[in-house]
Amino acid sequence: MIKNRYFKKIKFTKTQILKYLKNAIKDLNIAKQQKIPEVKFNYSYTALIKSGIALIASVKGLKVRSIPGHHIKILEQTSKILNDENILIIGNSMRMKRNTDLYEGGIFISEKESEEYYSFVEETITKIKKILEKITK
């Protein structure tokens, strides 16, 4: 059951949904070009969240509310829709690292780690794009 605290029912247009997805892909492309691991990581994470927002909007007709805890709810719903528990597990790991970076004085992300996160997000967005292509035709 989705709590209304985190989501609001909205009727989205195809244009709105595709705009959300385009924004996620833009962040993924920025991540792809990055040599600095922390920057690659951060853009990969935002691409994951933004693509989840697009997926939830298109499949469930729900707009995410920007309140504390909403990123975990995006990851949960994205994981459920795609039937892939790794989205919640890996996405949550990314979320916690991002929070540590923001609120606890920084993190160290290796090149290898940033590449692994980037690849995971790229695969997830590819899955989301396939679903949205079917829905927005």
pLDDT tens-digit map of 21-36: 999 999 999 999 999 9
Count CB neighbours of 28 within 10 A. 22
Burial 66-85 (b: 16+ CB within 10 A, else e): eeeebbebbbbbbbbbbebe
pLDDT tens sequence for the chain (137 residues): 454 789 999 999 999 999 999 999 999 999 999 999 999 999 999 999 999 999 999 999 999 998 888 999 999 999 999 999 999 999 999 999 998 888 888 888 999 999 999 999 999 999 999 999 888 77
Spatial CA neighbour of 42 closest among 52, 60, 59, 30 = 30
CATH label, 8-135, candidates 3.40.50, 2.40.50, 1.10.287, 1.20.120:
1.20.120
Max CA pair span of the chain: 45
Read off the pTM: 0.93
Task: Determine the distance from the C-alpha atom of residue 86 to the mean position of all C-alpha atoms in its chain, rounded to a whole number.
Answer: 13
Domain boundaries, the chain: 8-135
